[in-house]
Structure 1
């Protein structure tokens, strides 16, 4: 059977590609800023803002577009901010716990794993609520 891939398969693939770009940007900002002495909480928030800015646009424009139409209206942005804020609180709490147990370098190593977890939760939230 030929044809276009199933929409969720296409979305999952695009979400993974966008997510990889977000993860690189987010982690680079987080590690760079905390290495320069910025507190972990602020570094994580700024890293996630950088990644989210890229991801919101790419996912709204390509990953979750409907019939070629981007899903970047004001209601999508509001939902994105609400969901992103909740995931940022969770991400930050996890990294603070890792830092307390394993130090700053441990939080740098944990960052990609924490953000992979946030991405898994985020895919469901973005697909079912944010870009709906």
Structure 2
């Protein structure tokens, strides 16, 4: 599959993930959950969907298998990116307002998506 096609599919799948992730984060933090915990919960919801979508659609090959090795690699990358995301979103929430953190979250996630695409393409789904 070409880089352009994979990139396009990654963006489309990512928009679905981002919507779910942000919705869960906003709803939980609005209900009183600490922002850092709500962000992790949002990322878990997006990751569960994203692992499957990207493995079966974006980076799928005729000979590819979506198994434990890919899941472990995905988990390692997800944990690292979740630490960065949570530190940034929670930091913004502490130094600004909760609403500002909500607005910043999609920006943070889009920045991390570039890193995620490269690692997914070259390591996770190989």
The reply to whether residue 100 of structure 1 matches residue 94 of structure 2 is: yes
> Where does the alignment leave 5 or more consecutive residues of structure 2 unmatched?
none
Q: Distance in 1 between matches of 2:65 and 2:2?
A: 15
8 Å Cα contact 1:19/1:55 also seen in 2: yes
8 Å Cα contact 1:27/1:112 also seen in 2: yes
Q: Residue in 2 aligned with 1:129?
A: 123
| Equivalent residue runs for 1:18-33 within 5 Å | 18-33=13-28
Higher RCO (C-alpha 8 Å, min separation 6): 2
The count of corresponding residues between Structure 1 and Structure 2 is: 126
- Match for 1:17 among 12, 26, 31? 12
Q: Distance in 1 between matches of 2:65 and 2:9?
A: 15
**How far apart are 1:128 and its partner, in Å?**
1.0
**How far apart are 1:109 and its partner, in Å?**
0.5
> Where does the alignment leave 5 or more consecutive residues of structure 1 unmatched?
1-5
The reply to whether residue 8 of structure 1 matches residue 3 of structure 2 is: yes
Moved over 4 A (4+): none
**How far apart are 1:100 and its partner, in Å?**
1.7
Larger Rg: 1
Q: Distance in 2 between matches of 1:103 and 1:78?
A: 35
Q: TM-score scaled by structure 2?
A: 0.96
Q: Deviations for 1:74-98, whole angstroms, at most 9, x for unmatched residues?
A: 1000000000000000000001211
- Match for 1:85 among 74, 79, 82? 79
SS of the residue aligned with 1:38?
coil
